[in-house]
A and B are shown apart, each in its own frame.
Chain A
Amino acid sequence: MAKEHPILETRDLTIRFGGHVAVDHVSCAFERGTLTAIVGPNGAGKTTYFNLISGQLSATSGAVLLNGETITRLSVPERTDRGIGRAFQLTNLFPTLSVRENVRLVAQAKARKGFDLFTVAESHVELLERADHVLSEVRLIDQADQTVSVLPHGDQRKLEVALLIALGPQVLMFDEPTAGMSVDEVPVILELIQKLKSDMDRTILLVEHKMDVIRTLADRIIVLHNGALVADGEPSEVIALPIVQEAYLGKAPASSGEVA
């Protein structure tokens, strides 16, 4: 049965804020083990589209399907339980807790131990081990005992990715994972995303502005413009489309070349 369905699908997904249609009848299916880049100018509805899929916003109309099951009306934690994981554009962590505790909390949520009232949290060694394992993967293990709020920005971005890895969902959504990172830190994140895709056969949705990042990672690009899906296809084709050159890059096709 699962074979018939794409892992994630949106059907005519729409949200209106008053008169403004932020996401406009977007129908799109995502196959297992693929990485789809979502591009478009600022305000095109990319993050809103993510919010509709992971549940922070509820759709005005249309549907979100995971493995063929409608999840449009489910709450955020219910969708997380079913396998949708989300990393955020603006760093969105637990600032007063330690780096290790941030990841441990995710492992704890996944193990469904949050309502365990009378054991000592530290006695669940497997959760701590899991946290440390993920932290080594993202090369944050040396900072494990630091408080998140004092962490440099680049490390906070890495931790953001670490939380998603610890959650290990079927669908991973990254919203500009490399935003604000220094040039030498970017490859670490890209390598991690690449690894998630190839080794673990996850489905990845990626909002990204850096064209070189998209070229390296994406199997497919979809383009959103004013909330509507305007292009969908292989990276090389989509990037060449005039509408993308104009809508996304904001310049005529003739002046192609250096891309911000």
Chain B
Amino acid sequence: MLTRLLSGDTPRSGLLTALLLIVLISLAFAPFLFPGTKSLETAARICIFIVLVASYDLLLGYAGIVSFAHTMFFGIGAYGTALALSTTGPNYGSLIWGTAAGAGVAALFALAIGLFSLRVKAIFFAMVTLAVASAFAVLVSQMSWLTGGEDGLNYKIPRELTPAFKLIKAKVFDVSINGKILAYYLVFFAAAILFLVMLRIVNSPFGRTLKAVRDNAFRAEAIGYRVVWYRTTATVLSAVMAALAGSLLAIWLRYTGPATTLSMEIMIDILLMVVIGGMGTLYGAVLGATLFILAQTYLQNLMGVAAEATSAVPVFSTLVAPERWLLWLGVLFILSIYFFPTGIVGRLRAGRA
């Protein structure tokens, strides 16, 4: 049953299984294990980024396609939901059609870009996605009558998903069960389902064919696979998944703007998360996203504490000053690439043999 749910793609390493279980349990019980607004924000972000990073890995790790437009699809999903909620009101109808429309537009964009540029060299596709994504970001910030420009959009979501809504009077483990908790579980379960769907796709005959295309497109053609269609389909699927992750973000934040969805910074974060976790393994997305976001959120605090504790040591305390957190994130990244070139998951699975 469990193996079926995981599409036969079990972690295949004791330590990896343990790590994944820790992440799963922590996320599943986040509101109770780590009460507080900031930790719940972090947990929701991790859920959403697991989907986003996994969908990028579908493209980069499985199909071997480098795209810089992933945040564009993420943004299209987020803006779809945001626009629907702000124009037709905070009800479930607009939430659903906005999400569906976002995913649909993302699919069409991906289809167009794919058919237009996947026939040619990989570098050309990467450049086209970069150009399209930049143009899209400029367009969104210029069309402020529709998108709110740089300020983005603030909107209401259905009341049941807001802190004002109380599901039950009593507190569970000292946590009041309000709409924010419900919204978290919407994000959590949606992310879990999307992740399992992607796990199925990469282990399907289609997913296997993608690996073949990645390994040797020339030979894949010679045994009868129409490579362009496989690449285009992978691009479309990955775009739809990214758009759905964007919709989850839009619901969770009740705000959508260029900085939270479209920025090049997020694109680079996604790339780092895929590489840290391990390309071509969806479980890598789980670990990559979790570690990266935890570091992003808590490294600064941790360093603050460290700087405080070592204030007597002159050079060291300056080095660990909180404002240098990006430096240390960079160091951590370089070390992880150096020691785990196949990512955390690749390293753990190889260690088993």
Contact B209 A95 (CB under 8 A): no
- Spot the interface stretch: A1-9, A24-32, A37-45, A86-94: A86-94
A205 shortest CB reach to chain B, Å = 15
Query: Contact check: which of B219, B221, B227 meets A94 at CB < 8 Å?
Result: B219
Segment at the B interface, from A73-81, A186-194, A196-204, A225-233: A73-81
Q: Mark B187-221, 1 if CB is under 8 A from A, else 0.
A: 00000000000001101111111011001101111
Contact with A along B94-113 (1 / 0, CB 8 A): 00000000000000000000
- Residues of A90-122 whose CB lies within 8 A of B: 92-97, 101, 104-106, 108-110, 113-122
Other-chain residue from A97, A101, A122 in contact with B8 (beta carbon distance below 8 A) = A122
**Contact: B201 with A117, CB < 8 Å?**
yes
Q: How far, in whole Å, are A151 and B222 apart by their CA atoms in the complex?
A: 22
Task: Determine if B314 is an interface residue (Cβ-Cβ < 8 Å).
Answer: no
Residue numbers in A under 8 Å from B230 (CB-CB) = 114
Instruction: With CB as the reference atom, state the residue of chain B lying closest to A111.
Output: B205
- Complex CA gap A105/B208 in Å reads 8
Determine whether B159 belongs to the interface, using a CB cutoff of 8 Å to chain A.
Answer: no
Which residues in B have their C-beta under 8 angstroms from that of A105? 208-209, 212, 220, 223
A43 to B223: give the CA distance in the assembly, Å: 26
Contact of B336 with A by CB under 8 A: no
By the criterion CB–CB under 8 Å, are B212 and A94 in contact?
yes
Number of A interface residues, CB 8 Å? Answer: 36
Complex Cα–Cα for A112 and B4 (A):
23
Measured between beta carbons, the chain B residues less than 8 angstroms from A86 are: 222
Contacts of B211 in A (CB 8 A): 94, 96-97
Q: Are B205 and A114 in contact (CB under 8 A)?
A: yes
Instruction: Verify B208–A121 contact, CB threshold 8 A.
Output: yes
Task: Identify whether the interface residues of B are mostly helix, strand, loop, or mixed.
Answer: helix
Contact of A120 with B209 at beta-carbon distance under 8 Å, contacts A76-B221, A94-B215 already known = no
Q: Is A247 an interface residue (CB 8 A)?
A: no
Bound CA span A94–B204, Å: 17
A to B contact number (C-beta, < 8 Å): 96
**Are B215 and A114 touching (Cβ within 8 A)?**
no
A163 at the binding interface (Cβ < 8 Å): yes
The residue in B215, B218, B237 that gathers the most chain A C-beta atoms within 10 A of its C-beta is: B215
Greatest chain B CB density within 10 A among A75, A97, A121 is at: A121
How far does the alpha carbon of A245 sit from the alpha carbon of B227 in the complex, in Å? 43
A54 close to B (CB within 8 Å): yes
A167 within 8 A of B: yes
A251 interface residue per 8 A CB criterion = no
Q: Is the CB of A92 within 8 A of B218?
A: yes
A118-B200, A124-B205 given; A93·B219 CB < 8 A: yes
**Whole-angstrom distance between the alpha carbons of A92 and B205 in the complex?**
21
With A105-B208, A108-B208 given, is the CB distance from A167 to B201 under 8 Å? no
Contact assessment for A81 and B224 in the assembled complex, using a CB-CB cutoff below 8 Å: yes
Question: How long is the Cα–Cα vector from A113 to B208 in the complex, in angstroms?
Answer: 11
Report A111-168 residues with CB < 8 Å from chain B CB.
113-124, 163, 167
Asked if A120 and B212 sit within 8 Å, CB to CB, the answer is: no
Closest Cβ of chain A to B20, distance in Å, is 19
| B7 proximal to A (CB < 8 A) | yes
- Alpha-carbon distance A123/B219, docked complex (angstroms): 24
| A97 and B215 form a contact (CB under 8 A) | yes
On chain B, the residues within 8 Å of A81 by CB distance are 224
The 8 closest A-B pairs by CB, nearest first: A80-B224, A94-B215, A109-B224, A116-B205, A76-B221, A114-B209, A113-B205, A117-B206
A-B contact pairs, 5 of them (CB 8 A): A76-B221, A94-B212, A94-B215, A109-B223, A109-B224
Q: Which residues of A does B touch, CB under 8 Å?
A: 54, 56, 75-77, 80-81, 86, 88, 92-97, 101, 104-106, 108-110, 113-124, 163, 167
Known: A81-B224, A105-B212, A118-B204. 9 other contacts (CB 8 A): A77-B226, A94-B215, A97-B212, A105-B208, A108-B209, A109-B224, A116-B204, A122-B203, A167-B224
